[in-house]
Structures are given as C-alpha cells and as structure tokens.
C-alpha cells in the first residue's frame, strides 16, 4: 500500500531543485544586467577622460605658443615666465578637494 506522503515527498524533491534553478537563473540575469550597466559607465568615464586628456593637450600647446610669442616679441624673458608660473602654482586653488567635495559618487 503506497504511503500518502509519497506524492508529497516526490513533489518536494522536484520543487526544491526547480525553485533553486529559477532563483539562480534570475540572479545570473541580474548580475548580467548589473555588469552591462557597469560596462556602460566605464565606457562613459573613458570617453570623458579622453576628452579631458585632449583638452589638457590643447591647453599645453596654447601655453607653449603663448610663451614662444612672449619670448620672441621680447615682452618677457625666461625669468618672467618662471616667476609667473610660480605665482599661479602657489595661488591657484585646486578644483577638487576630497574633504570639501566628498567622493565622486
């Protein structure tokens, strides 16, 4: 005579692995979506970093051109330019201050 608990036990034995598989699949899909979102953020930051590097290069070229013009025109000499550099380096406040501005996120 079959036990009345046998169908229940078989149901549990079937339901537990199926439930675990569903939870694992959802978790895997969620991790994939999070990874895709993070990859998009990294691409965006890389693009911004590239733009900043390009702008820094352009600024350096402008500075070199301005120094060359000042030297060639006789408006300033090397000592004047060095004094101006020191003045701006000492008196320029940093744009980003971790204590004041907090973290980037």
Examine residue 15 and state whether it is found in any structural domain, yes or no.
Answer: no
Per-residue model confidence (pLDDT) at position 97? 67
Examine residue 28 and state whether it is found in any structural domain, yes or no. yes
Residue 35: inside a domain: yes
The answer to whether residue 4 is domain-embedded is no
Per-residue pLDDT of the chain (105 residues; tens, 9 = 90+): 567 888 888 888 899 999 999 999 999 999 999 999 999 999 999 999 999 999 999 999 999 999 999 999 989 889 989 998 888 888 877 676 667 666 665
Tokens 């691409």 belong to 43
Tell me if 98 is assigned to some domain. Answer: no
CA atoms within 13 A on the CB side of 91: 6
Domain assignment of residue 69, yes or no: yes
Distance of CA 23 to the CA centre of its chain: 31
- Written as six digits, the tokens of 29 are 């899909």
Residues near 84 by Cβ (< 8 Å), separated by ≥ 6? 76
Tally the domains of the chain. Answer: 1
Torsions phi, psi for 70 (to 5 deg) = -60, -40
State the residue range of the domain holding 57: 22-92
């Amino acid at each position: 005579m079959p036990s009345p608990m046998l169908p229940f036990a078989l149901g549990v034995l079937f339901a537990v692995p199926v439930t675990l598989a569903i939870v694992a699949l959802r978790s895997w899909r969620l991790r994939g979506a999070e990874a895709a979102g993070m990859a998009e953020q990294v691409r965006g930051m890389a693009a911004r970093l590239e733009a900043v590097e390009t702008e820094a290069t352009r600024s350096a070229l402008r500075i070199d051109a301005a120094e060359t013009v000042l030297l060639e025109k006789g408006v300033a000499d090397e000592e004047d330019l060095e004094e101006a550099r020191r003045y701006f380096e000492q008196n320029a406040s940093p744009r980003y201050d971790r204590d004041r501005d907090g973290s980037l996120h």
